[in-house]
Every structure is written in structure tokens, then in C-alpha cells.
Structure 1
Amino acid sequence: MQRVCLALPTMRACPGTIVDLAEEAAYAVETFGAEVHLLVLDTTVDAEFAKNADAVAALVPAPGVFVHHLGNEAQRAFFLDVARRSGSADPELMLDLMLPSDVAYGSCVNRIFLGAAALGCTSAHLRNDDFDYQVVDGAKMFPIHHELLSLGKPAGEALAGVARSELDPADAEKPVMLVSASFMGELNVDIGEINELDPEVYRDLVRLWTPRVWTREQQDAMVEISFKGAEHDSFDPADSVLGVPDIWDVYMCNVAIDHRGYEVLPLVPSLRTIGADYALLHALVHAKLPAVIHKRHIVNYYTPERRVGAGFVSYQLRFVKMLLSMLYLYPVYGQMIDLGRDLLDERHELRVEPILGLVRSTIDLERDTNEQCLDEVDRLYRKLGGKYAELADVVAGQRQQLLDEAREDAIRWAALIEGWAPMVAAARERGLAG
């Protein structure tokens, strides 16, 4: 029986999402006969944690569905024990890379990956705490339908489960490591208000996210598609295509990954940085591994605390950090593209050594580009005025810290990659219980 991990990392009360995911888990058992471990890694506290715990406790038991809800203390105990069992020379550092005190999108997914390994699962199916399923004729369109049809199979066998194929016959023996769809609704980075206030400022700001070596035309083309997801008229619950996808077709908010991918390469454990959870997707896509792209898009929305007061400032600082992170990530992604299939070993699985070398090579890059980026961010936020001008003051006050953190994040990623295989092995040996 296939054992899979349907996972929800959360830092807010989301009882409705927990109920929805339990429905998706039950659907997977009923439709595919899978054993589904619903893993909720929860960093809320007090009343918010209690709401999530109550939602878990109220779930109607379903055959084949096993629910695990871990709060901060349980996670800390688990990951510290795994770090110690892994033989790490610095278990406290490994714990900090996995469960830092600040928001870290990559770290929360890495925790899911180790949890999946501890549970003996062969895949991780990732969802967010701020999404809804599309509903057609009263039925929720669960992405796990397409994920379990194809994930982990040799691509030649996965042909039977897709509507269309663009598979190169030479790739028929390679495993399907990735199944993904997109999202609909609000932008997946919450900067839509900037576009409403001043579309030109929005374009200039998003342009800072594009590779600086690109032409203006290439940058503008990237601005046009960034953060927008699928068109609302593109839905087809049965449509799916097998082949080597474009990186723009895969989204961490709606993805399933085979263990042979995430057990090799962890995500970037960047602190307070949006987009730090995409590095593994880049590796799988640029290595030209076959994947399935379907159209059971989820519906993205944003919770209101991100748009006012301290929540607004915190979220926008994560966006600024994303802009700065690209100095260190784009060289890695670009060289992944150059390496292509050379990123794979004879078993068609990722080789970690060249990726680790690429990450290390970025650590001492000159950061003039990031200095200029912050200058431009300051100008654009002040042009918007109001709360954005106040945000510019905050960014200016943290300028050196932001620059230092962006570099430190690259160092942290290299350290985690080095220790990742022993951590995975230790988690698998330990198990999640106890």
C-alpha cells in the first residue's frame, strides 16, 4: 500500500483548512487505496493552537487516514533528537535551521520533509493554510487525484494516467518526481495593492525580482506573468500533461514531490523571506525530470493581518528579503539550467554535490546589486507615500541587517545541504512517535 504525507505547515489558526485536508485525505484512501498521513506542523500558540487542536480532535476518524498535529514543543523535541541522532557536530545549529525563531518558509517545508521520512512516506503533498479548493458541481477538486495517479512511477507507466503527453521517449524510465498545478485568486505574493495604487511603481518593483543580466524586454515579460497564477477560464478537472515542465507551471502552494527529490535537497532555510521554498522545484525542473502538470488549481487568498499594522510591515519585509535573496539564488538556478541532465546520477536522481558547490560559490559575491536594490526599493515606497513611506523608513533602519541576512541565508543553506542526508536517515530510523 502506498503511504503518503498530506502536509500543512501553519502559523495561524486554520480549523477550516484542517477539515478540508482531512476530506482530501479520505478521498485519497477511497479512490486510490493509499495510506494517508495528515501532518499538521503548527507554530501557533495559546488560543490559536487550541483552535487547531480542537479541529483535529473533532475530525471523524476515517479508515486509512492518520492525523498528526505537532506544536512547537513537540517539533522542537523531534528535530533536536533527529539532529543529535544524525551525528551532527552542532545539533543546536541544525535545530535552528529547521525550527528558527523567525518566519522561514523553506524551513517549515523542510520540517514536513523530515516528518514524511519519519512516517515512512514515499511522497509529500503540500498545501497552504490560506487556500480553498475549487468546487465543481458541489465537489471539491482535490489535487491529490492527479498526484497519486502519477507520482513516483516511471514516466512510461505514468502515461496511462494523463490526458496528454509531451514525454521524450528517452525519458520513459525516469521517475515522475513532481506533480503540480497552479492557483487562482489573489496574487501569490501580496503586493496587489501596489499595482492598484500605481501600476508603474508595481512594474519597477517587480522588475527588481528579475535577473539583472536580462534585457529590459525579458524583464518586462517576467513582470507580466509573475505572481499571477492561472486564468480563471482555464479549469479542466481531467486535464493533465506529462513532460518536462516550465518552472512557471509549478507552485509550492499546490505540489506533490517524490521522496527521491526532497530526501536529497532541502529548501533554503532563509529567515523572513518569501519564495525561499522554490529551490528544490528549480532543481527538479532544470534537471529535466518528467513531471505532471494538471489544472486542479487551488484558490489563493490572503488573511487580513498581512495588510495592516505590524503584520503589513513584517510581510513586506519578507518581500524585500526575497528581492535580495535573488543575488544568491539566480546564479545557482542559472547554472542548474546549464548542467541540465548532468544534475542526475545513473538512477535518474539528483546529485547533491554539484548543487552544494553552486551554493557555496555564491556566498562571497559582491553585494553592490543588493545595495542598489534597496536604494530603488526606498525610492519606490516613498513614491507611493502613506504606509509605504513609513515602510521605507523601516527598511532603511534595517538596511545593514537585511543585507547581512541575505548572505547568511546562503551560508545556512549550504550548512543544511551538508547535513541533510544524515538528518533524513536519522528521521527515518527514529520515526515520528515518541
Structure 2
Amino acid sequence: MMQKAMKPRVGMLTLGCRVNQYESEAIAEGFTTLGFSLFSFEDSCDIYVINTCAVTKESERKSRQMIRRALRKKEKASREGRSVLVVVCGCYAQQYHQQGYAFPDFEGVSFLSGNVGKDKIASSIARMWEEGLETPINVLQGMAGVAYDPLFIRRSEKVRAFVKIQDGCNSFCTYCIVPYLRGRVRSRKKEEILREVENLVENGAGEIVLTGIETGAYGTEENRRHLPLLELVQAVSRIPGVHRISFGSLKPDVFTESFTEALSRCHGILPHFHLSVQNGSDPVLKAMGRRYTIGQVNEILARIRTYFPRVTFSADMIVGFPGETEEDFQNTLHFIKEAGFLHVHIFPYSQREGTAAAKYAHQIAPIIKKQRAAMLAEEAKRAARGIKHTFEGQSFSLLIESMDPTHVVGHTENNLEMKIPRHPEDRVGGMRTVNYTHQNR
């Protein structure tokens, strides 16, 4: 029988994307609302929750590693006469369901959930704990036809607060397992999003980050255009106290002329965008199932720069996609050199079972993928230094995200990171006018 503490201790660990981070924060809030105490995953806890990822083989490996670590903690507690619950949710668990329960990694897990019903995890665990239930519970289900999980955050500890606006993806890019693990596009009700934003701003959020599995697809299950996202952003920008709005990853082709022009007129939109470009060579983009060319991406970057002075960009890039030639890779290097990204998130291609690209001929050797990733990272660093140099000495507004007794750390409106000496009036979540210098990075 489980020993019941007055306030059971919950240790949470999150792997993967911003959506996972948002969902974990909402799950954690559910636990605290029910009287549980939150601790580090490394602490001695009564309940361990792992929100897993499976977008790459490496994220799968990390998910397995963290599950095993929690199970070892459970075994140790058992030897000491204590009962511990291990909860696993997210994409790696969902993959376990999709592939017919073929994984041995979940033996000993107390509660297994995928990407459906995360809003019920805290209440389900509270019931297990209160009733002393030790029989494992598996609530995994398929993603076909599922509704949007009504997760909600009332107060965030983050100055830059994530707000999830949609789930799922309909693109089925040839390399990507996400549509199979997250399901089709389904969007959150606008009224719920606005209510959450109001709560977050009232509780001190300095920036609202609208995010999703495919953020730009918000509302498109009912409307094929990108107007639903624009209408949502316009509504968010009108909420009193909202001063900064940014986005999770967006596909480049979201930025049509009309969308970009209208977005530039919204109050608080930050001049920084993260674009899921994925590659710098047209033949590779076509093989990936991306519906744009690099020429079109360059036109989109120029368009955004027209409407957003001092804008910066970051990007996702995949190297070593099946059939990627040396010429293709050189095209990607050239694109990164010319496009001028502040940050580039580089992923060596990961072969995912069930995707079209996993069956493609001419899979690239791991050593070549590693070499190309390193070369691209060096080119990206050089390009970023050049971009930062163009802003040297310019005045910006800094959102203070953290501080110590002598310094504050934050980001300018165009996502330049700065660490500068602290002023007496500085506070976390506050703003401060600064002159940028690369020495303050």
C-alpha cells in the first residue's frame, strides 16, 4: 500500500518541442491545483512524470534513458519501503501505441498516456495516489478523429509565456513522423486562447509566444487560408497589457504579401521569426515534400524585411537527407551564408519508420551527416556574427528574463540576447532601453 504524504512530491521532466513544454507546464499546474508539490526530477519524489519526444532517434534514446532513470528511482524507493508512481506521456509513448506495443521500455510504468488526454493526467494520478492503486494503467489510444485537449495555464513562471493554439499537422512531409504521433490539425477555440493570454499577462508575462505543432495551420481545418491565424493575432494584440507577441516555428509560405502586411500593423508583433526552411536545395526540398523553392524563400525573407525593419530570423535545417548530393549541400551552405539567420537549428536526418523517406534509396552515411552538420554549424555561426555586427550600437528595448545581484539577462525585440549590468530599478519581466553591443551577448 502506498504511503500518503501530506503533499505528494512530483518531479517532472520534459523532452522535445515548445508544445511539449507548454503541455508539461499545464500538467504541472494541474498537480499544484490538486495539492501536490513540484520538485526537480533529480530530487526524491513520490511521482515522476516524463513527457517524451520521438521526432528523431536521438530524442527516442533520451526518452528511453529518462524512463529507465525514473524506474530505477522507483526500484530504489521500493527497497526502502516507499511506493513511487512513474508516469510516461507524449510522443514516444504514442509511438508505442502506433507500432502495436512493440517496445519493452514501459514495463514498470504506473501510468501510460500518449498525446490524448493530457488534461486528465493530474486528476488520474491524484486518484491513483489517494486510493493506493498500484496496478499499471494504460490509456493510450490512436490519433484518428481526436479532439483538441483542453489544457489551460493560468499562471506561468516564464517571462516569455508559451500559449498553445493548435495541435497536429496535415503536411506529411516525407521525413516526418509527427503527423502520425500528433494527428491531424485541430485548433483551440479563440475564446480560450484569449482568456489564457489575459490571465498570463495579469500574472506578469512580458511576452506571449503563440505556438503549436504547425502554428501557421491554426484554424485551417475550417478555412484553407491563413486568415484565422491573423484574426487570432489581431485579437491577442488588442488585449490590455500585451506588449510583445512572437511565434513558434512557421513555414515560410505562411508569409504571403497580404498576411505579412496585415501582421506588420498588429500591435506588439516582434521583428523575429523562426522559419522551418529545412534545406537550401530545391531537389531536396521537393523530395522532402516541402511546397516551395529556395528562390521563393528568399523572396519571402525580402518581403518580411520590407515590413519589419531590423527583423532577424532563425531557421530549422536538416542535413544528410536521402539522396542529398555534395552539390545540394553546397547550395544549403550558400543559402545560410546569404540569408543571414541569427540562429540555425541543425538536425542530421533521422530515419523514421513509417515515413516515406525511410524507404528512399541513397541513405547518407552517419559520418557524412555528422560532417555536414558541423560544417553548416560553422557557416551559421559566421553568418550570425555578421548579422549581430549590423546592429552594433543601435538602441533596443530589452525584456529582462533573469537577473543576479550584478547583471540582468534578456532579449531585445528582434531576439538579440544581452547580459548587462543591473540597475536598481530592474525587475524580471520589466523593460529597459539598451544600446546593443556584441560584447554584451
TM-score, with structure 2 as normaliser? 0.26
Question: Which of the two has greater helix per residue?
Answer: 1
